[in-house]
Amino acid sequence: MTRSTCLYLELPLTDYREAWELQRKIVTAKISRSLSRDVILVLEHPPVYTLGRRGGIENLCVSKAFLERKGIAVVPVERGGDITYHGPGQLVAYPLLDIQRTRLGVTDLVGRLEDVMIHTAAAVGISAGRNPLNRGVWIDNAKLGSIGIAIRKGVTFHGMALNVNLDLTPFSWINPCGLQGVAMTSLEKEAGRAVDMQEARQAGIANLAGALDMHLERVELETVMRSLDLSGVDTADGPKL
């Protein structure tokens, strides 16, 4: 059977709200069938806390004034899960998939994304695994990667966040994912050496292709924007995705 082709975009450090808005626009285009292809965004975010559908503001352990001094926003979103932190040095992937076409249930997709993080850790010599009580990826009792998914009319968005070489300090200001007494870790901390983000990105992209059984075709953001007519550009003669 021929593997389906999924577009992927490697974005630079991108404000969380901007990436969230891009996801929502792509989801809308997929629901309306103006975009037929699945899309994966691969990126990093500046420092931000996000709150999932379970809430999580009660798991914020510092004051609003403290966060304002640090320049860290708190953004409620529609993904599953509780509070988490994103920052530079964390590999984030957002699969925007037609769940019926991929024949994956939500639990299946979460498991596949856990596989991606486990295999990406292995690529840099780190052995990670699952915790039967809590989703995500773990090394002993320390959490290495988190997952939060949303589905709108059969299209998935949000996704996974793998700690590569980020500053872990902001995790100490929350109960990560609503779990008290849980330590967070990173590939760099576990390896005891520098871990290059580009190395982790390339391993992650290859593992996404394998876990989702898709061929990934890299495209530029401008191509997607033109195809969706999100930028106000006339796309009558432009590419159709």
CB 121 within 8 A of CB 128: yes
* C-alpha 99 chain-centroid distance: 17
Q: What are phi and psi of 221, to 5 degrees?
A: -60, -40
Measure Cα distances from 60 to 67, 75, 171 in Å.
10, 12, 10
Catalytic residue (one of 177, 203, 208, 228) = 177
Neighbours of 108 (CB within 10 A): 12
DSSP bridge partners of 74 = 49
Distance CA 124, CA 201 (A): 11
Q: Which residues is 139 bridged to in the sheet?
A: 142
177 is catalytic: yes
Query: Crossing angle for the helix pair 197-212 and 106-123, nearest 10 degrees?
Result: 140
Contact predicate 37/228, CB 8 Å:
no
Phi, psi of 111 (to 5 degrees): -60, -40
Residues taking part in catalysis? 177
